[in-house]
Amino acid sequence: MQEPIRNSGAVSTDNQSKLYPKLKGFSIAQLNITSLTKHIDELRILITEMNFDILCINETRIDKKIKNSEIGLQGYDLTRRDRNRRGGGVAIYIRNTIPYVERSTIIPENVEAVCIEVRKPNAKPILISTWYRPPNSNSEILDSFEIFLQNIDTENKEIIITGDFNIDLMPSENENSKAKRLKELLNTYQLSQLIKKPTRTTESTKTLLDLIICKTDDPKTATTDVVELGISDHNLVYTCRKVGICKQKPKIIETRQYHKLNNAKFQNDLKQALLHINEHSDPNTALQEWNRIFLLIADINAPIRLRKVRSDRQPWMTDEIKKLSFHRDYLKKKAVMLNSSAFHSSYKKCKNKGRLETSLDKTVKTQTINNIKFGDQNITGDINIANTINNYFVEIGPKLASIISPTDIDPIQPCRSEFKLRTITTTELIQTIGKTNLNKAPGLDKIPIKLIKLVGDAIHDSLLHIFNLVLGTGIFPDDLKLAKIIPIHKEGDKAECGNYRPISVISTVAKILEKIIYDQLSSYINDNDIICKQQFGFRPNHSTETALLKCTDQWLLNMDKGMANGVLFLDLKKAFDTVDHSILLQKLYQYGIKGTPLKLLASYLNNRKQVCVINNKKSGQETVQCGVPQGSNLGPLLFSLYINDLPMCLEYTQASMFADDTNLSCTGRTPAEIEHKLNADLSNVNDWLEANRLTLNTDKTEFMIIASKRKLNQFRTDIRIHINGSIIKQVKQKKNLRYYN
């Protein structure tokens, strides 16, 4: 018998190509993964080698606390039905270029299954469903499966059903009753089971548990097979169909041809052409002329070209990780092929040794959006979607503010100091440019920081003149207030505008100028202790870690004293986008920001415009009426000042804040005491929010009780926290500061 390879060398390229078949057509795969979170990195490697259109997963073993972003695949949407972290659960990954809708209403209750309907234009819809039947479960699941087949049989659509039914369909003389029942159902509804090989192979058993089912004698089925993978003890099964489905769009980026750049000539051309900029006394005209000259000369010396890039590239996926994955799958393939206990042993050692552990953040966020809902309409087309989302972003703030009745704002204690802007030196400008991250994306003007750093001395004098004009006149140039908006999906339905947050990508010159203003303003704020001690965001020596340590230390101290902690986690609706400019400017004045500095910040906020970019297509320009830009230097600092006085409204609780993430903590010995304190300060916070034209999201605001096990037994009585007729949900655990860690 052939023995396995003894070293851990890489699998050759030829062997890699044999491990993973080439897929032609519309491909649907099924894999029982025995814990999605445990194997998500291995799945991300697999998807780069076998680029499925639809990937069905069984035994996800996750619950609702696991966010889609934690288990995402680059370039795919995800729909799922969870059980818990101990077993069960199903999910379907759908390539994000494929139009589809979820069909949850045709799935019977109390089963682990999901169903989608792929809707290709001018073609028959395809129903795709995946099922998981737990081992040793009763026959009721097959009854539910029959109800499902009845539901879809009347729709006259293409059908593909995958899943791990835990019913062995390998030919056998002693066929059990469940196998007979399943085959009878398939015959009744004229369906065929395509997989003919074992899908779970051990050293002693071979069973066919993972199935692909479609209509009998379906001529569109081209290829069906089983692939031995080392990800789990189940093999992957797949089928390819002769159906035209749009594959993933290549990502097109604009890049400058730096290899053709004569840097000495470029600098000399710029220096000569920019000499007259110092003659301008208006920041707007000076910057407009500077931009025109810079782009003209840059396009001559380093022209822009379009380049295709792999949109599924993931930097954490090193060659070593991929080689380890290939070698593991190679060993399993040999173990199954040769029925070799030696290969089985080597495969298990490789699998156990090779758990992929990567410390980088692999959260997947994709901006590919196929459709968006607007009222009763379903908006398609990249430009239409971009315009719809852009309009939503600029209108959401005023809409939320319009439903709040104006109330008086409690006065802020005036600061005795006064903030003064000072002119900057060439050295400060050079240092600020040098500290700007090369990886920062350029704005709509397409001037990258790399190009700014390359030209060096050629632009320092002209930029210094413009920036000092801005600081002296209090006029923030209009060209620097135009932002490219990238919608970032958070959670929930990708067709809902409310499930996106806007990230502003501003021009490189705006980044540099904002950083200069930020440094001066931040220094004044820190020197005068203006930011409250409860705010941990955007302050020196403060972070999410210090915020969490402060909270947990206090909670533990209270528990040591025999007390319980009541913690209220506030959620604000579109907080950054709903900042009222007039209220913000009033508060800035009280903090000692007056005269030209206040005029400059008012100019910065006023008449800002934005363009939303979806799938590389741009919307029209829209004017922003309220809010501060996320993704900028000044935006988060201004927001911190806006909510800085929130802790002043509290009577019974202590606040802990990181930007708009806020929790309120109180202590008590009885449920009644905790309930009273949280309700009282929730009402106080609600009044403060209304006065500042911000909105509490009661659906996502939650509270929990933190105490020793003994103390928690005394809190069996229901605690009722409520505001404006809405009941606040109690939770047993909470993931805090999730967007900043």
Question: CA 526, 531, 532 angle in degrees (round to 5)?
Answer: 130
- Written as one letter, the residue type at 210 is D
Residue 169 forms part of a structural domain: yes
In contact, 288 and 480? CB cutoff 8 Å: no
Residue 3 forms part of a structural domain: no
* pLDDT tens figures, 684-706: 999 999 999 999 999 999 999 99
Shared-domain flag, residues 647 and 692: yes
Shared-domain flag, residues 209 and 81: yes
In contact, 363 and 69? CB cutoff 8 Å: yes
Shared-domain flag, residues 199 and 324: no
Q: Hey, how many other C-beta atoms are within 10 angstroms of the C-beta on 369?
A: 21
Q: Which residues lie closer than 8 Å to 60 by C-beta, 6 or more apart?
A: 33, 35, 36, 71, 80, 82, 88, 89, 90, 91
Q: What is the pLDDT of residue 319?
A: 57
Shared-domain flag, residues 187 and 325: no
Residue 217 forms part of a structural domain: yes
Residue 14 forms part of a structural domain: no
Domain interval for residue 73: 19-241
The residue out of 241, 257, 274 marking a domain boundary is 241
Number of domains in the chain: 3
Residue 293 forms part of a structural domain: no
Shared-domain flag, residues 205 and 351: no
Residue 686 forms part of a structural domain: yes
Shared-domain flag, residues 235 and 340: no
The residue out of 177, 208, 241 marking a domain boundary is 241
Q: Give the integer Cα–Cα distance in Å for 325 and 236.
A: 15
Shared-domain flag, residues 336 and 237: no
Shared-domain flag, residues 330 and 417: no
* pLDDT tens figures, 318-352: 555 556 666 666 666 666 666 767 666 766 666 65
The residue out of 196, 215, 241 marking a domain boundary is 241
Shared-domain flag, residues 199 and 337: no
**Any idea which residue has 């499925």 for tokens?**
52
Shared-domain flag, residues 415 and 329: no
Q: What is the pLDDT of residue 249?
A: 59
Strands in 329-472 per DSSP E: 371-374, 377-380
Q: What is the pLDDT of residue 327?
A: 64
Q: What is the pLDDT of residue 373?
A: 84
Tokens coding 266: 């470029």
Shared-domain flag, residues 213 and 336: no
Residue 380 forms part of a structural domain: no
Residue 295 forms part of a structural domain: no
What residues in the chain have per-residue pLDDT under 50? 1-14, 16-17, 312-313, 315-316, 354-366, 738-741
* pLDDT tens figures, 250-300: 667 777 888 778 888 989 999 999 999 999 999 999 999 999 999 999 888
CATH code where residue 129 lies: 3.60.10.10
Q: Give the integer Cα–Cα distance in Å for 297 and 270.
A: 7
Shared-domain flag, residues 354 and 205: no
Strands in 143-209 per DSSP E: 158-164, 191-193, 200-201, 206-207
Q: What is the pLDDT of residue 344?
A: 64
